Structure 1
Amino acid sequence: MSFLTLNDVTYCYPNGFKAVENVSMSFEKGESVAIVGQNGAGKTTTVKMMNGLTKPTQGDVIIDGLNTKAYTTAQISRKVGYVFQNPDDQIFHETVKSEIRFGPKNLGFSEEKIEENVRKAAELTGIVPLLDIHPYNLPYSMKKFVTIASVIAMDTDTIILDEPTAGQDSQAIKRLGVIIDSLVQEGKTIITITHDMEFVVNNFERVIVMANKRVVQDSHKEEVFWNHGVLEEAMLKQPHISRLCHTLNLNEKVLDINQMIDVLKKTSGKVKVTL
């Protein structure tokens, strides 16, 4: 049985608007998965049902054998941590350290465990020098790392990252990749919503595509990014390297620069560009 499962879930707002319709997906412990799709596809509503922020109108969300309908959001937060897209929606303490301490303290961890988790989370996210600073005095990009650290410190089995690369430079995006790899090695399940297709191909093998409030594909990244019908339906673009290879008529499902170099070596002198 999967660690986290959504069984045919639908979420309908009180005004009758359906944000998600008949969605099913499941996740194993230690798995990292990207969920992609345009705004309005239902991504954020779907992940909010995973940690109990919203409860499905129809269907069930099962986390480690627990049906979210029978538990409070606070109880579910012990299993699933959620990092908001906008850090200002999450931060409310006067120092970075107190912000990171809040989650594990609220979960009843010992003082020793709280300090250990704060240290680990701060080191992993690269914010140790910022612990005594007021979070609102930090730039947007660093505030995002504060919110990520605050959820890591809660030591949940699953962590959801909502648009982590937004407002980040290339070095910060590399650090995000390191963070995800480290957490997966610890057996954490990482579920990431993102519009950054380069980030997806560089950090995830499994990709779930959502469009029109439902799942339209759930498979390996190679299958997703060379399925032009699905990409068109979800209004997504291939990664830059893939589009270049398509323009060069390279008959290979290339996703990154190293793959492209290998293909070019094999096809040297045979490439014909179609404009």
Structure 2
Amino acid sequence: MTSASLKRESASWSGLVFSLEAPILQGINVTFRGEPTAIIGQNGAGKTTFVKLLKALLKPSSGDIIINGKNIKNTTAAKIASTVGLVFQNPNDQIFKNNVLDEVLFGPLNIGQAPEVARANAEIMLDLVGLLDKAGENPYDLSLAERKMIAVASILAMDTDIVIFDEPTMGQDARGKKKLKEIIRELYAQGKLVLCILHDMDFVAETFGRTVIFSNGKLLYDGPTRQAFAGQAILDTARVEQPHLTQLACKMGYDGVLLKLEELIKR
């Protein structure tokens, strides 16, 4: 496999196997090239294990993980902190400061940004997620959705080449989801690689051109999102449903796989 070398061709896995006693991931061979990619599948499919390997929070028992031409399978999370950012599914597992600004500042300072640069980046990202006015508050006085956005801001402030979101839409209302969609598109426009674990199929359909499907530690599908939701046999195996709009369009008798509201309106 040819490994990637630039921001938009940032990560590849070759023959990846991760095992405690029984293998969790087996025979994963995949390369990501720029386009924001959704990672879907039921709980226990191996999605979070997969991204933790990329972040070096876990190590594979065999296989290689190549980022920008370097094999990181034996490195540490600290050594690639300036390259790979991971927003945890549960912000309570990530947030540990008692001040919102200090929380967002921690990552940039920890990877060596100058204090004035780190503060500027932190304030920009807090403004981006709509929380600059709460910079002096305790994160645990805020809602789950707001704490999720604090975690997002703390990773974005580090300006990593690769940004991984684990269930970013959890607890978010329509406005929060719209903001996340804008953030993902802006990261792509900046040349960054975005990977996103999701159970929200509607968000997948609206936001991602490429989708990979995991089931029981194996990669069942890797390709265009529209085709992902057209393959009923794979969806059944992975126990994943089509987006609600796609199901509605089918019940209304429209042919093909419709993913977005404007497509249904046009029909």
1:72 and 1:252 mapped to 2: Cα distance?
A: 45
CA distance in structure 2 between the partners assigned to 1:119 and 1:185 by the alignment: 21
Equivalent of 1:242 in 238, 241, 246: 246
Q: Tell me how far 1:139 sits from its aligned partner.
A: 0.6
Pair 1:52 & 2:56 matched: yes
Selected match of 1:20 from 14, 19, 25 = 25
One-letter amino acid matched to 2:243? P
Paired with 2:113 and 2:205, the residues of 1 have a C-alpha distance of 36
Equivalent residue, structure 2, for 1:210: 214
Structure 1 partner of 2:89:
85
The secondary structure found in structure 1 opposite 2:78 is helix
Amino acid at match of 1:123: D
For structure 1, the 5+ residue unaligned runs are 264-275
Distance in structure 1 (CA, Å) of the matches to 2:27 and 2:260: 34
1:5 alignment partner in structure 2: 12
Residue 65 of structure 1 deviates from its aligned partner by 1.4
- Residue 118 of structure 1 is aligned with which of 86, 106, 122? 122
Amino acid at match of 1:199: F
Q: Is 1:67 the equivalent of 2:71?
A: yes
Distance 2:73 2:196 in 1: 23
- Which runs of structure 2 are paired with 1:19-38 in the superposition (5 Å)? 19-28=24-33, 30-38=34-42
Whether the 8 Å contact between 1:52 and 1:77 is mirrored in structure 2 is no
Q: Distance in 2 between matches of 1:161 and 1:25?
A: 18
Normalised to the residue count of structure 1, the TM-score between the two structures is 0.92
Task: Return the alpha-carbon distance in structure 1 between the equivalents of residues 153 and 213 of structure 2.
Answer: 27
Separation (CA, whole Å) in 2 of partners of 1:43 and 1:71:
20
Match in the other structure for 1:194: 198
State which drifts further: 99-108 or 251-260: 251-260
Unaligned 5+ residue runs, structure 2? 5-9
Equivalent position amino acid for 1:111 in 2: P
Equivalent in the alignment of 2:174: 170
Measured in 2, the distance between the counterparts of 1:262 and 1:112 equals 50
**Within 2, Cα distance between the matches of 1:156 and 1:31?**
16
Whether the 8 Å contact between 1:55 and 1:68 is mirrored in structure 2 is no
Stretches of 4+ moved more than 3 A in 1? none
Max Rg structure: 1
2:155 paired residue among 132, 145, 151: 151
Q: Report what 2:7 is aligned to.
A: none
Distance 1:48 1:175 in 2: 25
Of 42, 45, 59, which residue of structure 1 is paired with 2:46?
42
1:103 aligns with 2:107: yes
Q: CA RMSD in A?
A: 1.1
How far residue 253 of structure 1 moved from its aligned partner, in angstroms, is 2.0
Secondary structure of the residue aligned to 1:108 is coil
| Correspondence for 1:271 | none
Whether the aligned pair in 2 keeps the contact of 1:105 and 1:114 (CA below 8 Å) is: yes
Provide the residue aligned with 1:269 in structure 2: none
8 Å CA contact 2:246–2:257 kept in 1: the answer is yes
Q: Could you report, residue by residue, the CA deviation over 1:20-65 in whole angstroms, capped at 9, with x for unpaired residues? A: 111121112x431100000011000000001100111110111111
Provide the secondary structure at the position in 2 that maps to 1:159: strand
In the aligned structure 1, how far is the partner of 2:35 from the partner of 2:61?
A: 27
